[in-house]
Amino acid sequence: MNGETHQYYLVLYRNTSPVAEPKTPEEGYHLTEDLVHDDIAWLNQVHATYPNQPWFMYFSTGAIHGLHHTPKAYREKYQGRFDAGWDKYREETFARQKQMDIIPANARLTPRPKELPAWDDQHESEADTRGTAAHGLAHKQHSGFHRVLSRSGWPDFVCAFHNTKDIGPRMLARVAKRSCTLVVRLLIHGHGEGTYCAASDSFRPRRNVD
C-alpha cells in the first residue's frame, strides 16, 4: 500500500492474494483497527506454535501520512485544541521542549518556511480540521500499537522500536543495505543479545565466551 491509501475503502492483499475487508466502514471498519486485529491473531498463533522461537514484526499503519482519515471519536478528542493556530502551537511546543530539556535552553525557533502558509491566511473552517484530524489519527495509531505491544510479550521478551517519521525506516534501510546486519539488544524469548540480519530476516544469538 502506498502512502495515500484510503483508510476506509481500499484493496487489501496478503502476500499476493486479495483479502476482503471483514466489515464495511459503515459497520466501523478502519485500516488501523484491521491491522491491529490481524497482528494480534498472528502473535497468538506464533506464541502457541513456536513459543521458543524468535520472530520479527513490522507494524506499519497509514498514520499520520495523508490521507487523514480519522474516526469521529478520535477527532472529537482534539476538537478546539488547535484553535490558536499552528504558528502559535509551534511556539508553545518549542517552549515546552525547552522545559523538558529535549532541546538546549539557548535554541532558537527557526522561521516558518515561506512555502508554508501562515495560520491567519487560512480559511477558518479548513484550517481548524487539520490539527484535530492529524493528532486524532496519530492517537488512533498509538492506541493500536500499544494493543499489539501488550500482546507481544513486551517488555520481558521483546525489543520494540517505535518510529513515527519517514527518516527512521529510510535510515535503517540504508544501514541494512550497506551492512546487511543490524546489531541490537534483543530480548526475544530469552535469546538475549545478538545480531538481526535484515537481508535474511534471521536472528543469531551472541555466544558468550567464558
Following DSSP, what letter does each residue of 59-79 receive, concatenated? ---STTSSP----HHHHHTTT
Question: Percent of the chain having pLDDT more than 90?
Answer: 15
pLDDT digits 0-9 by tens, 4-34: 788 888 888 888 898 888 899 999 899 999 9
Distance CA 96, CA 64 (A): 22
Distance CA 21, CA 116 (A): 37
> With bands split at pLDDT 50, 70 and 90, how would you rate the model's confidence at 108?
very high
pLDDT digits 0-9 by tens, 62-77: 777 766 788 889 888 8
Residue 35 scores a pLDDT above 80: yes
**For the chain, which residues make up each domain, given as ranges?**
12-83+124-205
Q: Is the dihedral of CA 45, 48, 49, 53 positive or negative?
A: positive
Who wins on pLDDT, 119 or 176?
119
**Predicted local distance difference test score (pLDDT) of residue 196:** 43
What average pLDDT does the chain have?
A: 75
